[in-house]
Structure 1
Amino acid sequence: MPLFDLAPEALETYLPQIDEPDDFDAFWSQTLGEARSVDLELRLEQVETGLALVHSYDVTFAGFGGHPIKAWLTRPADVTGPLPAVVQFLGYGGGRGLPVEHLAWANAGYVHLLMDTRGQGSRWGAGGHTGDPAGSGPAVPGYLTRGIGDPAEHYYRRVFTDAVRAVDAVRSLDDVDPTAVAVAGTSQGGGITLAVSGLVPGLRAVMPDVPFLCHYRRATEITGAMPYGEITQYLAVHRGEVERVFRTLSYLDGVSFARRADAPALFSVALMDTTCPPSTVYAAYNNYGARASDVVKDIEVYPFNQHEGGQAHQLTRQIGWLATLP
């Protein structure tokens, strides 16, 4: 796959105007206020994994609408807190799987919470365990067009709220330093990470890896790959709904969330990525922290990679980078 997007030097200065609604902040303030009016109902049950150096817990907490959201929490064994924490979000279609699959952050000394993504977990990996009780109108198979006619009904309004509540849950734990919570994720998980970065102040760090859910209009104009192709497919059938669809998505754009972020950030981008095109990633990166002052940020560039990005190379970079932060 050759380079197909903007030239690398153009990407570095790419600052598109996006269609951000005037009531963006009010919409999310009301959404999170409603979610936080419900008790977290946080439950942790230790599970036996046969691993001697970490302890793992089956976690349940109340997300959007009070719906039960599952997660795995893994922490170093026999280490007293308070510890720093990393909350991680998953890629499109995957579930939390098994706790033995997610050990890097705990072995680096962090409390690690991996949030299951509601309604997903059957496309790859070892499965998910969280349903999505909310329905939607007609949609293309996948998740991106569920509730596409109204931001209040959209699937990602629920997921982003779940993610904020996951951070709330981790910050409430006695053995976690609430001022030292970072968020991370790849692809869809990177897009969720960006949403949290703009909705939760005072994070220690933000690590979106080849993030999805950014600059939707640009994405649909330059790639036919799924999942952005779900929007194209929907609009090819619902021909008169273009502006309505993009209005809904304007409440869910990683670029808008990135502008509101205030924590240090380490992004990654792959320049041959047709799933999450480089210009959509740079639109979020170049706007990151625009409303704050002197936000530390960096981006790791993988020039010859597609959507796999840096994989373990990027995780190694993240572990080292996070350890350098004050």
Structure 2
Amino acid sequence: MLSAATQEVAVAQFDMPRGELEQYTPQIDEPDDFDDFWAHTIAEARAAGDAQPGGGAPVLERVDAGLTQVTVDDVTFPGFGGHPVKAWLTRPAHAEGPLPAVVQYQGYNGGRGLPHEHLGFAAAGYAHLMMDTRGQGSGWGGGGATPDPVGAGPTVPGYMTRGIEDPHDHFYRRVLTDGVRAVDAVRAIDGVDPERVAVTGVSQGGGITIAVAGLLGDLAAAMPDVPFLCHYRRAVQISDAMPYGEITQYLHVHRAPEVEERTWRTLSYLDGVSFARRAQAPALFSTALMDDVCPPSTVYAARNAWGAEAEGATTEPPRIDVYPYNGHEGGAEYRFAQHLAFLREHL
């Protein structure tokens, strides 16, 4: 996320022409055991949750937020390793019948914030789960409440190189698993229709959205905006903006060839393009042509790969809304109306 002052400054359109972006389908380094790696990861996390008291069911505590038309619950659910992950659940106060749900993931170094910051989806009639991001929540916004109890070796400040020596130890293995478990949690809540669940997020949240859609084949919709965590090599090659710049800085210092090889191998298990290939849910993407944080070619790489390896995949890539004169803020507030229209169609 960028401050209001920063958002006023955009670079020129620096990436491929739009016609080339529409056709961009790069070959990426995908490990042969990608599916086994993630199947084992998710199964292990679910087993760790099931072993906890109450069988790992989400714990809800009603919060008096001073709101009359929306109810708020402070949710705790077991994520990666069974670690407790926090979330806010907001719902229309007088709703009847099982509600469709939207699970939302937060941007880089933001937390779940405060419940009154997330009222839009509940006001539109949805159950809305805003997942906290473990270890983050102190960079902007209203803060987070979920620690990450797992350590790491030498890293660049930030999250891209935490556990970079091995994909099993990487920070985003834990976060993406938390994202799947957030969907598991909302499906287990009374008053939510488990068959009508969508996922969404901006930037890092968009990257998590893509990963969860690739790992869960039964979502109703996915809405990633200016997504991060896609096509890492391309991002590092064409932009020095953070957070991808953390990878560049790490390799600048740890310059041995074997370290570079190990780094790209780890990241190959976390690339949104690989998750997108496996995704089956209807999707709505967005990108901005002046975005040097998540360059448009990295977004198109995921969008153009969507469903390529999914059973019964269509030949047409998902819709993508393009903002030619914007940076990483993308469509910002203009996205909400597009989201609601998309959800009405699919939920």
Interval of TM-score (by shorter of Structure 1 and Structure 2): over 0.9
Instruction: Please give the alpha-carbon distance, in whole angstroms, between the structure 2 residues aligned to 1:49 and 1:308.
Output: 29
CA drift of 1:81 comes to: 2.2
**1:115 counterpart (131, 144, 153):** 131
CA drift of 1:325 comes to: 2.1
Instruction: Please give the alpha-carbon distance, in whole angstroms, between the structure 2 residues aligned to 1:325 and 1:133.
Output: 37
* Unmatched 5+ stretches in structure 1: none
State the secondary structure of the residue aligned to 1:264.
coil
State the secondary structure of the residue aligned to 1:37.
helix
Q: Is 1:22 aligned to residue 43 of structure 2? A: no
State the secondary structure of the residue aligned to 1:58.
strand
**1:12 counterpart (17, 22, 39):** 22
Q: Is 1:59 aligned to residue 80 of structure 2? A: no
Q: Is 1:266 aligned to residue 310 of structure 2? A: no
Equivalent position amino acid for 1:24 in 2: F
**Could you tell me which residue of structure 1 aligns to residue 183 of structure 2?**
167
Kindly indicate whether the alpha-carbon contact (under 8 Å) linking 2:200 and 2:223 is maintained by their aligned counterparts in 1.
Answer: yes
Q: Is 1:256 aligned to residue 274 of structure 2? A: yes
Instruction: Please give the alpha-carbon distance, in whole angstroms, between the structure 1 residues aligned to 2:192 and 2:59.
Output: 15
CA drift of 1:243 comes to: 1.1
Instruction: Please give the alpha-carbon distance, in whole angstroms, between the structure 1 residues aligned to 2:321 and 2:335.
Output: 8
Instruction: Please give the alpha-carbon distance, in whole angstroms, between the structure 2 residues aligned to 1:297 and 1:310.
Output: 17
Greater CA deviation, 144-153 or 33-42? 33-42
Q: Percent same amino acid among aligned pairs?
A: 65
**2:96 counterpart (64, 80, 86):** 80
Deviations 1:286-316 (A, max 9, x none): 0011123227721000000000000110121
**Could you tell me which residue of structure 2 aligns to residue 34 of structure 1?**
44
**Could you tell me which residue of structure 2 aligns to residue 195 of structure 1?**
211
Aligned residues: 326
TM-score by length of 1: 0.99
Deviations 1:27-79 (A, max 9, x none): 00110110111222410001001111100000001111111000000000011
CA drift of 1:174 comes to: 2.0
Instruction: Please give the alpha-carbon distance, in whole angstroms, between the structure 1 residues aligned to 2:248 and 2:346.
Output: 41
State the secondary structure of the residue aligned to 2:339.
helix
Kindly indicate whether the alpha-carbon contact (under 8 Å) linking 1:16 and 1:283 is maintained by their aligned counterparts in 2.
Answer: yes
Q: Is 1:304 aligned to residue 325 of structure 2? A: yes
Q: Is 1:275 aligned to residue 293 of structure 2? A: yes
Kindly indicate whether the alpha-carbon contact (under 8 Å) linking 1:61 and 1:166 is maintained by their aligned counterparts in 2.
Answer: yes
1:177-216 equivalent positions in 2, closer than 5 A = 177-216=193-232
**Could you tell me which residue of structure 1 aligns to residue 339 of structure 2?**
318
State the secondary structure of the residue aligned to 1:46.
strand
Equivalent position amino acid for 2:273 in 1: V
Kindly indicate whether the alpha-carbon contact (under 8 Å) linking 1:263 and 1:296 is maintained by their aligned counterparts in 2.
Answer: no
**Could you tell me which residue of structure 1 aligns to residue 110 of structure 2?**
94
TM-score by length of 2: 0.93
Kindly indicate whether the alpha-carbon contact (under 8 Å) linking 1:121 and 1:128 is maintained by their aligned counterparts in 2.
Answer: yes
Instruction: Please give the alpha-carbon distance, in whole angstroms, between the structure 2 residues aligned to 1:201 and 1:171.
Output: 14
Instruction: Please give the alpha-carbon distance, in whole angstroms, between the structure 2 residues aligned to 1:250 and 1:74.
Output: 35
Kindly indicate whether the alpha-carbon contact (under 8 Å) linking 1:105 and 1:111 is maintained by their aligned counterparts in 2.
Answer: yes
* Unmatched 5+ stretches in structure 2: 1-10, 51-55
State the secondary structure of the residue aligned to 2:219.
coil
Q: Superposition RMSD on alpha carbons, in Å?
A: 0.9
Q: Is 1:232 aligned to residue 248 of structure 2? A: yes
State the secondary structure of the residue aligned to 1:84.
strand
**Could you tell me which residue of structure 1 aligns to residue 6 of structure 2?**
none
Q: Is 1:288 aligned to residue 306 of structure 2? A: yes
Instruction: Please give the alpha-carbon distance, in whole angstroms, between the structure 1 residues aligned to 2:179 and 2:37.
Output: 16
